[in-house]
C-alpha cells in the first residue's frame, strides 16, 4: 500500500541490539520539519508512549498533532495529541467499504446464485460494526459537560461546537468507537439528550443543536 499512497519508506538501521534507533530518527526528522516552518500539522502513527513529549513539543510550537495507534496506546500519548484515532476503527471501516463494493459489483444475473454469500458478508459487516466501546456513564458525562460548556441561556448547544469541546477533553473520542458514523447519530441514540434541527435559509443545510433533557441537567 505504500506505492498506492505515494509513501516513501525510510530505512533506519540499528546501531546496536536492544536500542530502537528508529524512534530517535523519527523524532529528529520531525524536529527538522518543524524548524523548516513549512507545515501546519503532524500525524504521528504509533502506539508508543515514547512519542508523548514529541507530540507535546510540536503543539507547543503551534502545530496541530494527529495521533494514530492501536487501542493499547497509553493515555499520556493520546492526551498529548489534538486528536487521536484508533487504527482498529479505520480497519473496520475499510473492511466494510470493501464488503459493500463487492456486493455492488455483483451482476444482476448472479445475484440469486450468490444471495447466501452476500447475506453472510453483510452479516459479518454488521457484526464488525459492533461498538468497540459501550455507551456508559463516562461517555454521557463527557457529552453532558461539553454541552454545558458551550450552551446558550436555554441550554441548547451547537452540535459542532460540542464535538470540538469533546475532542479537546478527550482526543481519542470518535463516534465510530461506539458504532456510529456521526456524532449526531450517537447523541440521538441516548435518551438523556434531545436534538433540534434549525433552518439556515438554505433548504439543503440544517444546523443541529442538542441539550440535556429537562430534569437531567
Per-residue pLDDT tens listing for the chain (217 residues)? 788 888 888 888 877 776 678 888 999 999 999 999 899 999 999 999 999 999 999 999 999 999 999 999 999 999 999 999 999 888 776 666 666 666 655 555 555 545 555 444 444 434 444 566 788 899 999 999 999 999 999 999 999 999 999 999 999 999 988 989 899 999 999 999 999 999 988 888 899 999 999 744 4
Q: Is the pTM of this model over 0.75?
A: no
Neighbouring-strand partners of residue 44: 67
How many whole angstroms separate alpha carbon 145 and alpha carbon 142? 5
CA distances from 179 to 68, 87, 92, 187 (A): 18, 14, 10, 12
How many whole angstroms separate alpha carbon 87 and alpha carbon 60? 26
Decide: helix, strand or coil at residue 23.
helix
Query: Are the CB atoms for 212 and 155 separated by under 8 Å?
Result: yes
Neighbouring-strand partners of residue 146: none
Stretch (H or E) spanning 29: helix 21-36
Domain ranges of the chain: 21-81, 89-128, 137-212
How many whole angstroms separate alpha carbon 50 and alpha carbon 42? 16
Walk across the sheet containing 193-199 and list its strands.
157-158, 206-212, 193-199
pLDDT of 186 reads 95
How many whole angstroms separate alpha carbon 84 and alpha carbon 171? 5
> Which homologous superfamily does the CATH classification assign to the domain defined by 137-212?
LOTUS domain-like (3.30.420.610)
How many whole angstroms separate alpha carbon 146 and alpha carbon 169? 8
b vs e for 50-80, b when ≥16 Cβ sit within 10 Å of the residue's Cβ?
ebbebbebbbeeebebbbbbeeebeeebbbb
pLDDT of 21 reads 82
For 173, the grid coordinates are: 473520542
Query: Are the CB atoms for 187 and 160 separated by under 8 Å?
Result: no
Q: What 8-state DSSP symbol labels residue 194?
A: E
CB atoms within 10 A of CB 13: 7
How many whole angstroms separate alpha carbon 174 and alpha carbon 69? 13
pLDDT of 147 reads 97
pLDDT of 134 reads 82
pLDDT of 173 reads 93
Amino acid at each position: 500500500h505504500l506505492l498506492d499512497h505515494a509513501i516513501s519508506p525510510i530505512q533506519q538501521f540499528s546501531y546496536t541490539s536492544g536500542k530502537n534507533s528508529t524512534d530517535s530518527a523519527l523524532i529528529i526528522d520531525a524536529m527538522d520539519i518543524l524548524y523548516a516552518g513549512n507545515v501546519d500539522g503532524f500525524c504521528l502513527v504509533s502506539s508508543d508512549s515514547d512519542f508523548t513529549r514529541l507530540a507535546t513539543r510540536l503543539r507547543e510550537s503551534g502545530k496541530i498533532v494527529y495521533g494514530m495507534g492501536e487501542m493499547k496506546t497509553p493515555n499520556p500519548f493520546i492526551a498529548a495529541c489534538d486528536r487521536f484515532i484508533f487504527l482498529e476503527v479505520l480497519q473496520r471501516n475499510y473492511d466494510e467499504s470493501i464488503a459493500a463494493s463487492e456486493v455492488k459489483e455483483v451482476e444482476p444475473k448472479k445475484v440469486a446464485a450468490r444471495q447466501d454469500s452476500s447475506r453472510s458478508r453483510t452479516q459479518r459487516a454488521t457484526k464488525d460494526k459492533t461498538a468497540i466501546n459501550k455507551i456508559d456513564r463516562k461517555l454521557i458525562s463527557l457529552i453532558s459537560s461539553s454541552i454545558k460548556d458551550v450552551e446558550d441561556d436555554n441550554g441548547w448547544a451547537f452540535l459542532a461546537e460540542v464535538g470540538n469541546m469533546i475532542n479537546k477533553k478527550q482526543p481519542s473520542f470518535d463516534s465510530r468507537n461506539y458504532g456510529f458514523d456521526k456524532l449526531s447519530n450517537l447523541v440521538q441514540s441516548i435518551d438523556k439528550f434531545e436534538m433540534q434541527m434549525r433552518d439556515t435559509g438554505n433548504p439543503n443545510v440544517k444546523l443541529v443543536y442538542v441539550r440535556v433533557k429537562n430534569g437531567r441537567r
